[in-house]
Structure 1
Amino acid sequence: MKTRKTLKLFTPILAAALILSACGSGEGVYDDKGQVFRKVIPQDMSSLDTAKVTDSVSFDKFNQVYEGLYVLDGKDRAQPGVAKGEPKISADGKTWTINLRKDAKWSNGDPVTAHDFVFSWQRVLNPDTASEYAYIMYDLKNAEEINAGKKKPTELGVKALDDYTLQFELTKPVPYYKEMLAFGTFMPQNEKVVKKYGEQYGTKADKAVYNGPFTVKEWAVEDKIMLEKNDKYWDKDVVKLEKVNYKVLKDQQAGASLYDTNSVDDTLISAEQVEKYKNNPALQKRLLAATFFLKLNQGKVSAFKNKDMRLALAQSVDKQAYVNSVLNNGSAPSDDFTGKGTAKAPDGSDYTNQIDSPLVYNPKKAKEHYEKAKKALGKNSFTFTLNTDDTPANKVSAEFVKAQIEQNLPGVTVKIKQLPFKQRIAREHSENYDISFSGWGPDYPDALTFLEIMTTGNSANNTGWSDKTYDQMLKDANGPLLQKLQERNQTLVDAEERLLSDAPIAPIYQKGEAHLTNPQVKNLQYHNIGGDTTLKYAYIDKSIDRETGKKKEK
């Protein structure tokens, strides 16, 4: 899924203002009365409509307020959600029959039925919905043809045998499909409510209904999201949190200040702050499976049609220096497209260990490719615009990349254009950019979740790059090779190396996060695939001292 960088820098006036507002907020977003988890997030969600989003922040919220057939546990393994148990799968692996629990309800009291899944999946694939994630359902029978307008949504290979029995047919057996069913796009929708609100569905807290552990009580766009426990949820007895409050805040220094005043329980912090909190029990670092890279738009920039120019750019950035000096949050330099931690090789090792990438930092080779490009293009100077998000830290990141490229490729000028996240993504979708600092996180535990987005015609491949051989390799990996593990694995490795050798994207780093997390927060589950967290089992243990992380003395 689309993701974004989250490092920010110090703006003391804003920090002070936020602290003042926190102190006088009463029972608002910073209130800690009872069981409440308060978290700073760097970006707002884009919608509550599961058919309409592509960003990681929205999918994370979906994990809390919706529930699919299956959910992911703390090790990213699928466990029954609305499903009553394990699916019954036909001998050929294509037909799945799933019994639904009869006590699952929507927050308005309606039962959650098999019809809700049929409606939701048909709606995602209906071309009128314009769901950018429709392709994730293409393994369902007739799905691709429906999304292309060649068949009707009612011809999708999914049906309700009765209110509590769902059956669907795949085009081929998919070994990781149960994990895919936990992903946000596959979650159910209440047809009555969707039709009631029409185009307004999911745009406000009261224009949706929820079947997860929490409901959305309030959503103030670009300000806050406030959840409360869902008393209609079938498993409500295990949910200990009464409230979850998210504060949208782009400045991480302000987030740290809020943490220091006990106003929030979790916030990301910037590179400069890591050293300050190095001995604090609240400091936590984690490496996510998301990767960040430069998209090089050869559809708009004629110079990027030249392979040597693309290779020159991709080899000209010192990634280790970048993660050390700019990020300092547990991020790692990356020369690959697929994130480490996404998938396993047949021998159980990490899939990415097999990749031999040519896109390592190598200023000498970068210059050699650059000289070839200049000769072929008949020019000695080039100007490119680099789009990035509109935060202080993203500006610092872009300035580092700019300095590296201009230093190692004399004659290249990089101009930085900062845009709000949604606008940067919109520019990518319309291919109205030169270079875009972009990212992607996995939706299911297989390298295809990354590699497929660079196939010809994929809505996320907006670089103007197309390779029919690459396309076919992925079709084979997602078709006839599914039961041939070794051959399939090698095909995926070969496809990724083919992609990297052509460099339509320039990998920079794998995302890490440095958090300040209240030591009182227990059972917070993080995920490498799908939404970032699960809060169903989380709670606040107030017998723990927030400052020391140890049990309070009685």
Structure 2
Amino acid sequence: MRLLTRAVRRMAAPALIAVTLTGAGFAAPAAAEMLLNRGNQAEPTSLDPHKGTDVQSARIGYDLFEGLLTYGSDGTVVPGAAASWEVSEDGLTYTFKLRPDGKWSDGSPVTAHDFVFAWKRLVDPNTASDYAYFLWPIKNAEAISGGQMQVDSLGAEAVDDFTLKVTLKEPTGYFLGSLVHRMTYPVQKANFEALGNSAVGAGKLVSNGAYMLAEHVPQSHVTLVKNPHFRAAGEVKVDKVVFHHSDSPETELRRFRAGELDTVQMAPVTQIDWLKSNMPETMFFYPVFATNYMPVNMTREPWASNPKLRRALSLAIDRDAIVEKITKSGERAAWTLTAPGAQGYTLPLPEEASMTQAQRDELARKLVAEAGYGPGGKPLQVEIMHATNENTRKIMVAVAAMWQQKLGAKVALNNQEWKVVLQKAGEKDYPGLTSLGWIGDFPDPYTFLKIYRSDVGKMNRSGYASAEYDRLLNESNALLDPEARMAKMAEAEAVLVADAPMIPIYHATYRNLVSPKVKGWFENPMGVQPTRYISVE
């Protein structure tokens, strides 16, 4: 994470030439000289640049598009479509100079008008993007999303074709770093004005990244082909990349062993010991800026009015047993939503983090009794909704067993497809808890803490609403002093942890499996490995 943070500070330096792409209607290479087959977990939620909310969509999006900032070959943040930028002394105005040779995949130039159009589309309530809040630091963006102002009032303007001027509503310390996230990337204005939402289809999507969308077969795969108009096309080795989708990590491993997949994003936890003994040369296991956690539905009882019950459930989970006996890949027990790694940020650990598990269990039983549940009280019934894959199932089975054994709870497990889990979680349409993970969108604690603001809609999967929490986050974002800002965010997270609308379980690692013939794969704390830097022998 320190490496990424340093990179953000360097980004005002002049960059290389812009990323240019060719897109809609361009034929795939007659004979792909180099093919990469990537295991990409479950079917992505959407290929629409403003609607895909999961990491599966993100991996594809980072190959198709490039933003003002982007990822370099070592995972650091580097200039992308922007050649340079300036920030006013008051921290309110950002002026970006785009690369004049940047092109879309149809050969037309990437302009500031495209960025303005894309950002207006993101915050437009008609788009209904779960990520609209991403641009709320920009003047009038939040009011636009709420339907109080017109889209054209957004504080982003094209001064000329290659100059983008952005005005913020107040100084926002994380704004520049957040522009590496794909939700801030451009879409081609002419393409979307002509085709509307159908512009995201294969053969129609115009993109400005290293690849073009050639094919999408739902529940099977997405195929991208190299863009010959990309500014660094001579450096891009892979001609065609296929993202294969499956709900089963075990299936991905079988295909990897058979040579049908060159990479797997997450090796199954059931096979870690076997992999260590038989295929250690393929294992790329490393910590990422991510946390696996369980949102509690704060719109339902008994959870909404029972903080003692919520805390008891958290205390009774033996996190060390989960990471040592189930995941076994270097994960770290979590007591905060924010993962370790943000430079200058001290995690606000609760007192139970320093307790023994026996002490936690004793306190959990005491809190359950005080809440009126357990022996002599009301029966404690809990339902956990989780995705249909063996990795998650094993962890949730363990959690259920702990609650049953220690608290006398009756726990039901409800497995659903990944898309269904995200949809129901966003709508708060689950009776108890669900299992989710969050990987940072950019290297800053706010990327975690923002998803529990009361005003971010579906991204707040618990329905948590705390005026104090929102106030502290607002105050932190207005601070220009980095140390003071981090301290204020830690205050906010301490409130979140004490209120317990979510239960952190562990800070994650990525369990990549990579064939020895794949070169250029790198460990990125943000979990992004753009295909443009990879080759296959």
Normalising by structure 2, we get a TM-score of: 0.88
Aligned pairs (5 A) from 1:302-317: 302-317=302-317
Q: Report what 1:355 is aligned to.
A: 349
Aligned pairs (5 A) from 1:371-520: 371-374=369-372, 379-410=377-408, 412-433=409-430, 434-459=432-457, 460-479=459-478, 482-520=479-517
- Alpha-carbon deviations, 1:286-317, whole Å to 9, x = none? 11211111111131122442111011001111
Aligned pairs (5 A) from 1:205-284: 205-267=202-264, 268-279=266-277, 280-284=280-284
**Does structure 1 conserve the Cα–Cα contact (< 8 Å) formed by 2:281 and 2:516?**
yes
Gaps (5+ residues) in structure 1?
1-31, 346-350, 543-554
- Alpha-carbon deviations, 1:188-243, whole Å to 9, x = none? 111221133323332x3223111101112111111011111111212212211111
Distance change in 2, residues 1:113/1:534 (3 Å): same
- Alpha-carbon deviations, 1:423-470, whole Å to 9, x = none? 111111221112111221211221111112112222222324322111
Q: Report what 2:528 is aligned to.
A: 532
Shift of 1:139: 0.9
Distance change in 2, residues 1:73/1:419 (3 Å): same
Instruction: State the SS of the aligned residue for 1:128.
Output: coil
| Cα distance in structure 2, aligned partners of 1:313 and 1:94 | 44
| Cα distance in structure 1, aligned partners of 2:273 and 2:376 | 48
Aligned pairs (5 A) from 1:181-220: 181-202=179-200, 204-220=201-217
Instruction: State the SS of the aligned residue for 2:60.
Output: helix
Distance change in 2, residues 1:299/1:378 (3 Å): farther
Q: Report what 1:108 is aligned to.
A: 106
Instruction: State the SS of the aligned residue for 2:231.
Output: coil
Shift of 1:76: 4.9
Give the number of aligned pairs: 498
| Cα distance in structure 2, aligned partners of 1:526 and 1:141 | 36
| Cα distance in structure 2, aligned partners of 1:369 and 1:66 | 50
| Cα distance in structure 1, aligned partners of 2:333 and 2:86 | 42
| Cα distance in structure 1, aligned partners of 2:324 and 2:493 | 26
Q: Report what 2:6 is aligned to.
A: none
- Alpha-carbon deviations, 1:154-213, whole Å to 9, x = none? 1111111111111111223334433211211111111221133323332x3223111101
- Alpha-carbon deviations, 1:6-52, whole Å to 9, x = none? xxxxxxxxxxxxxxxxxxxxxxxxxx973222111211222222221
Distance change in 2, residues 1:263/1:475 (3 Å): same
| Cα distance in structure 2, aligned partners of 1:356 and 1:73 | 37
| Cα distance in structure 2, aligned partners of 1:92 and 1:376 | 56
**Does structure 2 conserve the Cα–Cα contact (< 8 Å) formed by 1:51 and 1:133?**
yes
Gaps (5+ residues) in structure 2?
1-30
- Alpha-carbon deviations, 1:293-350, whole Å to 9, x = none? 1111131122442111011001111111112222223322211110122x111xxxxx
Instruction: State the SS of the aligned residue for 2:115.
Output: helix
Distance change in 2, residues 1:503/1:392 (3 Å): same
| Cα distance in structure 2, aligned partners of 1:146 and 1:275 | 52
Q: Report what 2:64 is aligned to.
A: 65
**CA RMSD after TM alignment:** 2.1
**Does structure 1 conserve the Cα–Cα contact (< 8 Å) formed by 2:285 and 2:512?**
yes
Q: Report what 2:147 is aligned to.
A: 149
Instruction: State the SS of the aligned residue for 1:277.
Output: helix
| Cα distance in structure 2, aligned partners of 1:227 and 1:182 | 21
| Cα distance in structure 2, aligned partners of 1:380 and 1:312 | 15
**Does structure 1 conserve the Cα–Cα contact (< 8 Å) formed by 2:88 and 2:94?**
yes
Shift of 1:254: 2.7
**Does structure 1 conserve the Cα–Cα contact (< 8 Å) formed by 2:122 and 2:132?**
yes
Of stretches 116-125 and 184-193 in structure 1, the one that deviates more from structure 2 is 184-193
Distance change in 2, residues 1:277/1:302 (3 Å): closer
| Cα distance in structure 2, aligned partners of 1:274 and 1:439 | 20
Paired amino acid for 1:385: E
Shift of 1:520: 2.5
Shift of 1:153: 1.0
Instruction: State the SS of the aligned residue for 2:372.
Output: helix
Q: Identity of aligned pairs, percent? A: 27
**Does structure 2 conserve the Cα–Cα contact (< 8 Å) formed by 1:291 and 1:510?**
yes
Normalising by structure 1, we get a TM-score of: 0.85
Aligned pairs (5 A) from 1:13-28: none
Instruction: State the SS of the aligned residue for 1:477.
Output: helix
Instruction: State the SS of the aligned residue for 1:291.
Output: strand
Distance change in 2, residues 1:38/1:88 (3 Å): same
